Amino acid sequence: MHLVRAASTAVTLSLASLPLRVHAQSDPTNQNLTLRFFQNSPESCDYSESTRALTFTTSSIPLVSHCFDVEELFGGNATQGFVNQTGNIAPPNTGQAGIFWQLENVDSYDSQANYSSILYRQHVTNPGNDNQKPGKHAERGVTLYAAKGCSDLDPSADRVLPWYGFNCWSEDKGSCGTTPWNVGSFNMHAPSENAEGTCWVFAKNGDAGRGYSSSQAMMGAVLAASLAIWLA
């Protein structure tokens, strides 16, 4: 049990230690982050064709990471809210900061259902530069967990479960994935100041294998060329 909790703590600390940027909450270049939850895998991964799904949307960028419990969100009476993070503003900066969020289709929420399929969308319609195009690090990241409280502990057994992450700018239709468990919570955070390498597209434990990476493709080409020379 101690080993399990230690592993869980290590993952939590690794995410919490990411250096965070301070953002203006009304930056016009920021696009909405939308998460949609399905009981079954959608017939097509398309934002425009999944409007009846449970939907969480925000235009805010968090100053610090924040965990949302799925049952608390969709099982409550509110369809919009605000997570106040003003206390995290460093002097001499002033103003209000936090996460404004909105829900859709809450009437269809079933606390006994298995919401294991996700659609993630964070898209810039008219990118101002290459860094705002799909496959580049986005303004926010999201990690998905089986348990409440953004814990990677199995809610029904003494073991650690994988988490899944998104933090790329997506295509207009979004990106999808299906976890091996019901999504109990998700963590929303700002990316690191110097985001490098591969961003996440439903990446298991942050594994680069499901992400975009030009450097990964380049490394593969170098290895292939080296192997060809060695075999010649």
Phi and psi at residue 228, to the nearest 5° = -65, -40
**Model confidence over 52-93: pLDDT tens digits?**
899 999 999 998 999 999 999 999 999 999 999 988 888 887
The alpha-helical segments, DSSP class H, found in 44-170 are 70-74
Q: What is the pLDDT of residue 195?
A: 63
Lowest mean pLDDT among 12-16, 119-123, 209-213: 12-16
User: Helix, strand or coil for residue 33?
Assistant: strand
pLDDT at 97: 86
Indicate the helix (H) or strand (E) that contains 2: helix 2-16
Q: What is the mean pLDDT of the chain?
A: 79
Does the structure show a pLDDT above 60 at 230? no
- In total, the chain counts a number of residues equal to 232
Q: What is the pLDDT of residue 218?
A: 33
Q: Is the pLDDT of residue 8 over 50?
A: no
- Residue 138 CA to residue 188 CA, distance in Å, equals 12
The span from the CA of 126 to the CA of 30, in Å, is 11
For residue 188, what are the β-bridge partners? Answer: 66, 142
Beta-bridged to residue 67, according to DSSP, are: 187
Q: What strands lie across the sheet with 185-189, from one edge to the other?
A: 66-69, 185-189, 137-145, 164-168, 203-204
**pLDDT surpassing 70 at residue 10:** no
Q: Which residue has the higher pLDDT, 40 or 79?
A: 79
146 band by pLDDT with thresholds 50, 70 and 90: very high
Domain boundaries, the chain: 2-231
* pLDDT at position 6: 38
**What's the pTM value of the predicted model, to 2 decimals?**
0.76
Provide the pLDDT for residue 86: 87
* Higher-confidence position of 176 and 224: 176
3-state DSSP helix/strand/coil percent for the chain, to nearest 5? 25, 25, 50
From the number of C-beta atoms within 10 Å of its C-beta (0-12, 13-18, 19+), residue 208 rates as middle
